[in-house]
Structure 1
Amino acid sequence: MPRKGMRSIFFKSSSPSPSSSPSSSIPPSSPSRTFSETLMDENFEIAESLITKWDSDTSSYAKITSLFHEDRHEANRYLNSVRDLQSAMQHLITQNAASGKLVRGQNLMQMAMHRLEKEFYQLLSINRACLDPESVSASSSRSSAARSSVSDLEDDESEDEFRAAGESISEVERVSATAMADLKAIADCMISSGYGKECVKIYKIIRKSIIDEALYHLGHERLSLSQAQKMDWEVMELKIKNWLNAVKVAMKTLFYGERILCDRVFSASASIRESCYDEISKEAAISLFGFPEIVAKCKKSPEKMFRTLDMYEAIASLWPDIESIFSDESTLAVRSQAVTSLIKLGEAVRTTLTDFETAIQKESSKTAVPGGGVHPLTRYAMNYISFLTDYCGVLADIVADWPLTVQAPLPESYFGSPESDDSPITVRIAWLILVLLCKLDGKAEHHKDVALSYLFLANNLQYVVVKVRTSNLKLLLGDDWVAKHEAKVKQYAANYERMGWSKVFASLPEDPTAEISPEQARECFKKFNAAFDEAYRKQSTWVVSDPKLRDEIKISVAKKLGPAYRDFYEKNQAGLRQLVGSESFVRYAPDDLGNYLSDLFFGTGVGGSVSSSSSVSHSRGRHRG
């Protein structure tokens, strides 16, 4: 700017000034004083006037009043006078290093620096609320033009520009931007005057306490490994939730805002800026990013997996911010801690996945599930695996360099050979499901009835398929996987049907419409009644949990049994009337069968055994005997 530029230019007059007077600082051999020397004298006088006016040791008014708060134009003049004083002293050193004015100037400079230290401290303290990281980061994104217009107090027009640019920002942001500009102006002046260390010391004390307090209020507290290992999981989980919230706010607002403030205030010196931010933020940031490492080292269990993944995902998603905010060499330790935590969390996830697989394989309950329903292990494992798919992105990262190694080839009947282009996470999830299905195969043997063991397998595989089809698992495993396993469910259901109803089917003639004697018909009805009674009695307590599968099985049995029995019934009912008392052997009308079948697979056992007193006269009613 013109005014500042003129003051930094010194040139000698070509002729003596008639108004010049001798000065003690001018060597006797000099016939007159130069223009620049006259200007230096004026600078000394102006500086002395302003600096002594605002000297707290000599002025009661200055002791209780803030220069920057009271009169910003006066503050502007004060800073300019300090700069001019410094220039004058530098000029004197080149002309006459023994000048008494240098001592006077040094005393004035010390007074000025003492005053500016006080102003710097007051600005940081009084504006603590509006210089909170949230206000700073908000004003950074919305009012950079306003800030830049007041970043230098030397131009009176800048304040008008600031007011114009500041119309769109809030009052808090306006005060924040003004305070930052004032702090920058003081820091620039003190650093250029050789008093940067005093300025930085004040800044570090105040701003470090703000970071520490902010993290405390966000719920983050420093924790040792021994403390963490003694905590109940419920307490630790609460701390993890607090950390997940704290780390996002810290990176998006706290450390980001502090970085902006530090960069702006100490823009005059890259080295000061870097070391200052390092000292106020590094300790807190390392503590923040060290917490996940501590959690990762604690005892692991499948239930803790999801919080571990939450922390991994939080750091991974914030990594661009971490790299940007802690980009300096001095804050390398923060980046290193974040990376270490990621590595440890990844190791914890891999260990937990291995433990989960082992837990499935070692599940040792030998009690058959009542009615052949869905095993608790199936529900637990599939819900767990489906929740894992919510973290596909981070899991893909974690298992990318963790190849699946198994002792035997993957059974074709369940999985088939992995495709060459299958991702590691797809192979890993498919393998966990395969481990579960193999375990369920073994548990099917706990059901002594073969038909019930097939129904158990159909129920459990159907649960698995539905869980895959209705979750993100389908995106991983694909339509082919679903189709193959749906076909396997149908195969299990067909095996159940064959084993569970074979005696009933065999009790009827191979050709239900063939001509047979009344005596033969009576024997067939007798065999059918006994076989159907036994099948119904056993299966009335069996379960098919999935409504779609339940209806499919009922319809399939009814389609095979109903028409055959109806043909036999209609062909032979009239002939039985020739035999005295044979009507009692016809216990089921064709419509009765559908009614009985509709009661099955709810696991209620309402059917029990079919009453021997049932007769054809009840055939049009829903009979439960």
Structure 2
Amino acid sequence: MEHLIHARDLLNTSLHQSRQIDFELHKTSVTLAHIDQIFPTLETAIRDMASKCASLPIGDHVGRALPTVLAVLNVYRLVNELGTSVTAQSSSHINLDLTLYISLIKRFKQALTLLTNTCKLAILWVQDVKQFLQHTTTIGVAHDHPYHLIVCKTLHLLKKVQETEKCCLLDQGILGVAFKVLEDEYENLLTQNSLPVQVPSSLFSSGDEESDESVSDALSQPVLPFHVANNLKAIISCFATCNHQVDRCMAIYVKVRSTNFETSLQDLDLNYLEISLSEFDSIQDIEGYIDDWGRHLEFVVKHMLELEYTLCDHVFGQLDVIIWTDCFSRIALQSGIHRFIKFGNMVTKAKKEAIKLFKLLDVFNTLNNLRHDFNRFFGGKECSEIQSQTRNLIKKVVNGTTEILHELSAQVQLQRLMDPPPDGSVPRLVNFVTEYCEELLDDDYRLVLDQILEIHCSWYNHNKKLVSVEEVHNIIKALELNLEAWARRYEDSALSCIFMMNTSCYLHKHLNGTRLGDLMGESWLKQHDDRVQYYTQIFLRESWGRIPALLTNTDRITGFAEAFDREYRKQSRWVLCDDSLRWKTCELIVETIVPVYNDLGLVEVGSSPSNKYVKYSSEGVENLVSSMFQPKYGSSDVIKCANLVDRIKSLVAGRFSPATVAA
């Protein structure tokens, strides 16, 4: 139904234009007929005057004027022929041959310009004749003399012909109507062939190589059919050649392409860009949207705006670069880029927390990868607002990132006031900080972070260049001080040793061969390995190492049982997180007490009434010791710790695509 209504309106418009054209053509024909009637008479009269005055001084003047007057007549006849052809094409523009039509318009405009210039020259020569007739007494020509009247009439007619080009350019003139036909054809071509860009399915999931391929496939087709783009370019070229304003065509172009752009974005579901977040809200509430934001912004800038930029260059490229880039900028500003910048600003307002640092790095990396595109697309004066907003966003990201990074060491130190784990296990903070720092040292994150720190130093003229590895090193050193402080908080020296054994073993074993381990150095790793051995020996001496002395007492068997029970009950609640450390420690405990126990020559339990006080056999002692220090996998702390580490890993996994590029 819409197509029928459009066709009806188009036919009504065409009918109205045809009537106007016929009317103008009729007026032109009447004027031309009148001129054609007068020109031959004038030509004959001037020739007669030239013949009679050949021997007189005026003869030279008339001889010079006559050829230009005749040239005007010839050019005018050409204008008339071309004007008739243009009018005929304008009347039937539904079946318009665009190439032929544009060619006729250009030739007609050139002929009109030639007519105007020829008239100017002819008028000068005829005015020269008139002046001679008025100021000379040689031939005695009065004002009412036929020669004088012929000259005046010729001047009047030439001036009237000189206005032909101006009349043709009026709204209802031949060229005015022709340009309106071209504008309508331009709008129809653009509207009927502007289809929304198909959004790749990869934009609804995390990016990968297959996603990159799907984006390329979706955008492999030109934004407009090649022949349509060429026709649009030809129309603009015609306007430019004919010195006709292209403002209306540009306005049509901006309106149609902007509407098409907005329609294309609807499939992306960008409602999340309107989310509001305060300084009290956690970044974790919107971390998934930040990932979407990066992919969507990159698609909008690198693909959709790039396509519009290329098309705009193709259609308007023959114009002054400032003119056509202004046209593109108007489309770009209506692309919703303001909403993306607004969302980025909202991210910077979220509560300061360690996880936020990674998200700020994501935001910066996205903007940095698009920096050259932003400068190219939004470099004009009309985009000054978006330039200012982008710079302000980058400033907030740089300052926010630097502030969080500098506060990490202080945040780790604040945890020193907390109580250490009651079972001597590795604190969650150790897992979190080491995993966190390991990811910060990832090449992609580290390079971005170093770039941010360098920018921050240049802004505030810091003498010392800040480097991410130094900040990470400081964080780990602060963590070590926490471990030492927590170890002193235990009332039981043996449990303090268990705690130091766990943490030193974790730092040595889990950081060995990692980026963080390489940063801290081989000697640092060995130092923690040595600490494991050192605190293991102290642990044995302060707890199980005291039991053999009890076996030499008079009531040695009862003393052993009581001491063993006491240590077993107490230490059964403790944890050694590493399997090999746990196995080795249990083995050392057995080696410490069982050989001495066996040396007493005690028989198995129940073998003799005299040994009724023997509670444990050697094998029983070994079994009980071997069951100690097992992690409590059902405990909420262990589960929380695992979830926390997994969250960090999932947070930073796959954030940086090798194929991705602030203002």
State the alpha-carbon separation in 1 of the partners of residues 260 and 70 from structure 2. 52
Q: Does 1:197 align with 2:251?
A: no
Q: Does 2:545 align with 1:542?
A: no
1:350 corresponds to: 402
Q: Does 1:82 align with 2:82?
A: no
1:102 to 165, 179, 198: 165
- The letter of the residue matching 1:340 is N
Task: Tell me the residue number matched to 1:123.
Answer: 189
Distance of 1:300 and 1:358 partners within structure 2: 13
Query: Counterpart of 2:493?
Result: 450
Shift of residue 249, structure 1, vs aligned partner: 0.7
Aligned residues: CA RMSD = 4.1
Greater shift, 526-535 or 241-250, is seen at: 526-535
**1:179 is the counterpart of 2:228:** yes
CA contact (8 A) 1:133 1:256 kept: no
Q: CA deviation at 1:87?
A: 1.5
Q: Equivalent residue for 2:629? A: 601
Tell me, what secondary structure is at the counterpart of 1:544? Answer: coil
TM-score, L = length of structure 2: 0.65
User: Structure 1 pair 540/230, CA: closer, same or farther in 2 (3 Å)?
Assistant: closer
Per the alignment, residue 358 of structure 2 pairs with 306
Structure ID, larger Rg: 2
Q: Give the counterpart of 1:398 among 452, 456, 475.
A: 452
Kindly state the Cα deviation for residue 275 of structure 1 after the two structures are TM-superposed. Answer: 1.4
Structure 1 residue 287 displacement after superposition: 4.1
Once the two structures are superposed, residues 58-93 of structure 1 have per-residue CA deviations (whole angstroms, 9 ceiling, x without a partner) of x5xx4xx374xxxxxx21111111221221122222
Q: Is structure 2 residue 312 aligned with structure 1 residue 262?
A: yes
- Correspondence 1:558-597 to 2 at 5 A: 558-562=590-594, 564-565=595-596, 569-570=598-599, 572-573=600-601, 583-584=611-612, 588-597=616-625
User: Are 2:410 and 1:378 equivalent residues in the alignment?
Assistant: no
Match of 1:149 in 2: none
Task: Check whether the contact 1:228–1:236 (CA below 8 A) recurs between aligned residues.
Answer: no
- Cα distance change of structure 1 residues 23 and 318 upon mapping to structure 2, 3 Å threshold: farther
Q: What is the CA-CA distance between 1:503 and the residue it aligns to? A: 0.7
Deviation, structure 1 residue 279:
2.0
Deviations 1:324-382 (A, max 9, x none): 44455654654554343222112112233345444333337755523212223333434
Q: Is this contact kept in 2: 1:218–1:242, CA < 8 A? A: no
Kept in 1, the 8 Å contact 2:398–2:452? The answer is yes
1:403-432 Cα shifts (integer Å, max 9, x gaps): 8xxxxxxxxxxxxxxxxx998211211222
Deviation at 1:230, TM superposition (A): 8.9
Structure 1: runs of 5 or more not aligned: 1-20, 68-73, 135-167, 404-420, 509-519, 606-625
Q: How does 1:36-435 map to 2 (within 5 A)?
A: 41-42=77-78, 45-55=81-91, 62=93, 65=94, 67=96, 74-97=97-120, 98=159, 99=161, 100-103=163-166, 105-106=168-169, 107-129=173-195, 173=222, 176-193=225-242, 194-215=244-265, 217-220=267-270, 236-237=286-287, 239-269=289-319, 270-282=321-333, 284-326=336-378, 331=383, 334-363=386-415, 367-390=419-442, 391-400=445-454, 424-435=467-478
Please tell me whether the aligned partners of residues 276 and 346 of structure 2 are also in contact (alpha carbons under 8 angstroms).
Answer: no
Alignment match, 2:17: none
Shift in alpha-carbon separation, 1:581–1:482, aligned structure 2, 3 A: same
- Aligned mates of 2:263, 2:602 — CA distance in 1: 95
- Contact kept, 8 Å, 1:219 with 1:239, in 2: the verdict is no
Tell me if structure 2 keeps the 8 A contact 1:389–1:473: yes
How far residue 133 of structure 1 moved from its aligned partner, in angstroms, is 10
**Amino acid in the other structure paired with 2:353:** S
Deviation at residue 294 of structure 1 after TM alignment: 3.5
Distance 1:422 1:262, change over 3 A: closer
Once structures 1 and 2 are overlaid, which stretch shifts more, 267-276 or 587-596? Answer: 587-596
Using the alignment, how far apart are the partners of 1:422 and 1:344 within structure 2? 20
For 1:348 and 1:170, the matched residues in 2 are separated by 36
Whole-Å Cα distance in 2 between the matches of residues 311 and 240 of structure 1? 8
Tell me which moved more, 270-279 or 280-289: 280-289
Match of 1:482 among 506, 509, 525: 525
Contact 1:326 1:334 in 2 (8 A): yes
How far is the alpha carbon of 1:124 from its aligned partner?
1.6
The amino acid that maps onto 1:53 is Q
The answer (yes or no) to whether the contact 2:182–2:235 under 8 Å persists in 1 is: yes
Residue type of the alignment partner of 1:595: N
Report the Cα offset of residue 472 of structure 1: 4.6
2:478 aligned counterpart, secondary structure: helix
Residues of 2 paired with 1:121 and 1:469: CA distance? 67
3-state DSSP class of the match of 2:403? Answer: helix
Percent of aligned positions that are identical: 22
User: Which whole-Å CA distance do the structure 1 matches of 2:352 and 2:80 have between them?
Assistant: 72
For the 8 Å contact 1:374–1:459, the answer to whether it is kept is yes
Secondary structure of residue in 1 paired with 2:423: helix
The verdict on how the C-alpha distance between 1:227 and 1:440 changes in structure 2, with shifts beyond 3 A counting, is closer
- 1:187 CA drift (Å): 1.4
Whether the 8 Å CA contact 2:282–2:351 is kept in 1: the answer is: no
Q: How many residues are treated as equivalent by the alignment? A: 504
Q: Provide the rounded CA distance (Å) in 2 between the counterparts of 1:392 and 1:573.
A: 64
Q: Is the 8 A contact 1:51 1:108 kept in 2?
A: yes
Please report how far the alpha carbon of residue 118 of structure 1 lies from its aligned counterpart in structure 2 after TM superposition.
1.0
What amino acid does structure 1 have at the position aligned with 2:247? K
Partner Cα separation in structure 2 for residue 297 and residue 130 of structure 1? 34
Unaligned runs of 5+ in 2: 1-35, 47-64, 121-158, 201-216, 458-463, 634-663
Could you say what secondary structure the match of 1:54 adopts?
A: helix
C-alpha distance in 2 between matches for 1:132 and 1:34: 62
Q: 8 Å contact 1:447–1:453 — kept in the other structure?
A: yes
Shift of 1:434: 2.3
* Bigger RCO of structures 1 and 2 (CA < 8 A, at least 6 apart): 2
Post-superposition shift, 1:450? 0.9
Partner AA of 1:84 in structure 2: R
CA shift in 2, pair 1:389/1:205, >3 Å: same
Match of 2:226, as an amino acid?
A
- Deviations, residues 175-205 of structure 1 (Å, cap 9, x unaligned): 5222221111111212332222222121122
